[in-house]
Chains A and B, each alone.
Chain A
Amino acid sequence: MKETIGFPRALLFYYYYPAWKTFFESLGQTCQVSGKTTKAMIDSGIKVTVDEACLPVKAFHGHVQSLSGECDRVFVPRLVSVEKKAYICPKLMGLPDMVRHNCTGIRQILDPCIDMSRNRKAFAKEVYTTGRLFTRNPLKISAARQKAEYTYEMFTRLLQAGLAPIEAMTKMNLHDAPDSWNSGTSHNAPAFEKAVGARPLVIGLLGHPYIIYDSFLGMNVLDRLKLMRANVVTMDMLPPTMIEREAAKSRKRVFWTMGRKLLGAGYYFLRPGTVDGCLQMSAFACGPDSFISELLQQESARSQRKVPFMTIIVDEHTGEAGVHTRLEAFLDIAERSRPG
């Protein structure tokens, strides 16, 4: 029995799609990804969620609705935890329940519960149960899982090498239509830079993947910065060991995987000499980010030589023009405060 599984292009799609796609395709299923985020999608998401929900969660609902009718199942994982003693965001823990109540007209929700907070056994079992929906052969499932893990490994390496997720997926032939957007952040400075002789600005970019890599929610921040001739380093490009080392500076361990990554990368970027400016993008009323920003701001206030630091908050009313102006102003400051 062949089914089509729909993947909303939102939230942690940007990290885990390659692995799940490999998994399901090895089991003979088809995967379908929702289109790029559009205004209409956001609006349809806003209509079904409470006002207080954050923009990425609203966008997720929009993506789910755009898939309904087209797929046999929509993939809405319950992402509790992807490492020991750490979580991602409480909202992702209740996501399938929210989607179930808000989106009518979906045939079926596929909601494996990903929880590695205690150990990986529960996770292995969950993967197995998910596989069992499509095959009775346990060997097939474990082979699919191995393949998926390998894909994930390769994918993360590409991210660390500086590719944006969609770029990396295209490169690995996991994403059919090569997207022109988010054309990446490769370190190569444009050729004419050499003629002018100036080193391009390097900006450290902090933000959840579903904001900075989503052209709509993130206002194309990657492309914009590139057009303004700045090179971008995201937290995904930093080696995990370094992130952990930096994040360990906090007296209390941050128990959100993504939050710790943001904090570690942020601490690194705020050290003089690493980047010329540290830019954070976060969603209006995002719970975890409100704390991470505060920790970074305190760090910035304590440091002697300050790296320019700015936070851009996006919500459904954010306009491109405003963001553009703020980015320009920020790059100006970064330019002026760059040493020598």
Chain B
Amino acid sequence: MKLTFARLGNMHIAGKALFEALGIDVVLPPPPTKRTMSLGSLYSPEFACLPLKVNIGNYLEALEKGADTIVMVGGIGPCRLGLYGEIQRQILEGLRCDFKMIVVEPPQGRLDRVVRQLREIIGPQPITRYIRALHLGWSKLASIDTLEKLALELRPFENSKGEVSFAFEAALKCIEEAGTPKEVTSAAENGQTAMKSVCKKTDSDKPRIGIVGEVFMVLEPFVNCEIEKRLGEMGVVVLRSIYLSDWIVEHVVKDVFRILRKSKLPYELAKPYLCHFVGGHGVETIASTVDYAKQGLDGVIQVAPFTCMPEIIAQDILPTVSKELGIPVMTLVLDEHSSGTGVLTRLEAFVDLVRMSRRARR
């Protein structure tokens, strides 16, 4: 069996480590390119949301490289993600691809279901091996998140453009190659030192912008036109509302162990503006915006895929939030036709606006 799965930011590093520690061959989809995007949008429904299209592109390129099994998450609605697996399977079957698709449904509080589904992929294994694999995967995921967070803080202060990103990429490589949690930790520490060493003093005053929106769009630099890097290089400190490890704790771990309560905080924060769950990340988008405004950030950017239902609701309500809390908000709706230059122009204009309103406030 040669396993593959869709890409999401740097998640593949952790995913690969996890499955390989369980003795499974993994064939990763190559890093997304224009070709991925055009393959994906060619074979997907026109109004499907962008993540689905990019996933399809990933699968096709991974199948070309010899993968024969795809793992994908399922879901119970209300948003489309829950049906991704089924639609993707039918699309690929319609293209006469030869593969097996395993859709992992959310456990909804039943540990036995998780175990059964994992067995289907992995086959029986001693429990210690599971624990070791999970430990390795998790340590990679957590270290990557730490490094990503650090990169966002450091970029505006780098000595010359691109140095932080360069050091960050190098650190990622080391984490990818690390074989034990211990090696991962030391790779991450080295990476942090390297990234800090290419920066000037970090305490001078820079504008701060928060990024909110749909998970895939926030986490995948390829589809959001590397918004974090670009903002950082314009001298902006970026705060990101979603980190994969937090997301997994909130949506996977707490779904397996239902005794752990899910956080109510987003609902509290969003309540004056949006008082009901709307699927996807709609409530969180509003909540993070409110939170950022309260923290005194200088602006918020929402990134959403075209036709994304929860984000449309949020987008519709954000102007009110922006007005009432006095924080500039911009929405970037992106699809397969979005161009890097177009996004860059809008980012520059927004950063100018943010700088101006900052000066006005002082």
Contacts and interface: CB of A to CB of B under 8 A. Distances in A.
Interface in A43-102: 49-50, 52-53, 78, 80, 85-87, 89-91, 93-94, 97-98, 101-102
A305 to B, nearest CB: 18
B203 interface: no
Interface in B271-329: 273-280, 282, 306-310, 312-313, 315-317, 319-320
Given A52-B306, A97-B313, A98-B316, A291 B48 contact: yes
Contacts of A53: 312, 316
A251 B316 contact: no
Interface residues of B, number: 45
Contacts of B47: 284-287, 289-290
B86 interface: yes
A298 interface: yes
Nearest to A256: B77
Nearest to B320: A101
B307 A52 contact: yes
B141 to A, nearest CB: 28
Nearest to A254: B83
Given A255-B82, A256-B77, A101 B90 contact: no
A256 B77 CA distance: 8
B279 A250 contact: no
Interface string A256-286: 1000000000000000000000000000111
B306 to A, nearest CB: 7
Interface in B29-70: 44-49
Contacts of B276: 78, 80, 93-94, 97, 113
A255 B313 contact: no
B269 to A, nearest CB: 14
Contacts of A78: 276
B156 interface: no
B282 A90 contact: yes
B103 interface: yes
Contact of A291 (B87, B94, B277, B306): B87
Given A90-B309, A252-B83, A101 B273 contact: yes
Contact of B76 (A49, A85, A285): A85
Contact of B78 (A93, A250, A295): A93
A98 B316 CA distance: 7
A332 interface: no
B278 A90 contact: yes
Interface string A169-180: 000000000000
Contacts of A200: none
Interface in B63-101: 74, 76-80, 82-83, 85-87, 89-91, 93-94
A250 B76 contact: no
A53 B333 CA distance: 12
Nearest to B94: A298
A44 B272 CA distance: 25
A184 interface: no
A291 B84 CA distance: 9
Contacts of A287: 47, 49, 79-80, 307-309
Contacts of B316: 49-50, 53, 94, 98, 101-102
Interface residues of A, number: 39
Interface in A218-246: none
Contact of B94 (A93, A101, A284, A301): A301
Nearest to B273: A97
B307 A252 contact: no
B279 A93 contact: yes
Given A285-B47, A287-B307, A298-B91, A87 B78 contact: yes
B313 A98 contact: yes
A293 B312 CA distance: 21
A195 B319 CA distance: 63
Contact of B90 (A50, A256, A294): A294
Given A94-B276, A98-B317, A294-B90, A285 B77 contact: no
Interface string B83-126: 10111011101100000000100000000000000000000000
B45 A293 contact: yes
B45 to A, nearest CB: 4
Contact of A255 (B77, B85, B274, B310): B77
Nearest to A98: B316
A284 B307 CA distance: 9
A91 B312 contact: yes
A263 to B, nearest CB: 11
Contacts of B307: 52, 285-287, 290
Contacts of B313: 90-91, 93-94, 97-98
B87 A294 contact: yes
Contacts of B103: 252
Contacts of A252: 74, 82-83, 85-86, 103
Interface string A301-319: 1100000000000000000
Contacts of B77: 86-87, 255-256
Contacts of B306: 52, 285
Contacts of B279: 87, 90, 93
Contacts of A90: 78-79, 278-280, 282, 309-310, 313
A97 B267 CA distance: 14
Nearest to A102: B316
13 contacts: A50-B312, A52-B315, A90-B279, A90-B282, A94-B282, A97-B274, A101-B317, A101-B319, A250-B86, A255-B78, A256-B77, A294-B44, A294-B48
Given A287-B79, A295-B86, 19 more contacts: A49-B316, A52-B307, A52-B315, A53-B312, A53-B316, A85-B76, A87-B77, A93-B279, A94-B317, A97-B275, A101-B273, A101-B317, A256-B78, A285-B307, A287-B308, A290-B47, A291-B83, A294-B87, A298-B90
Interface of B: 44-49, 74, 76-80, 82-83, 85-87, 89-91, 93-94, 103, 273-280, 282, 306-310, 312-313, 315-317, 319-320, 333
Interface of A: 49-50, 52-53, 78, 80, 85-87, 89-91, 93-94, 97-98, 101-102, 113, 250-252, 254-256, 284-291, 293-295, 298, 301-302
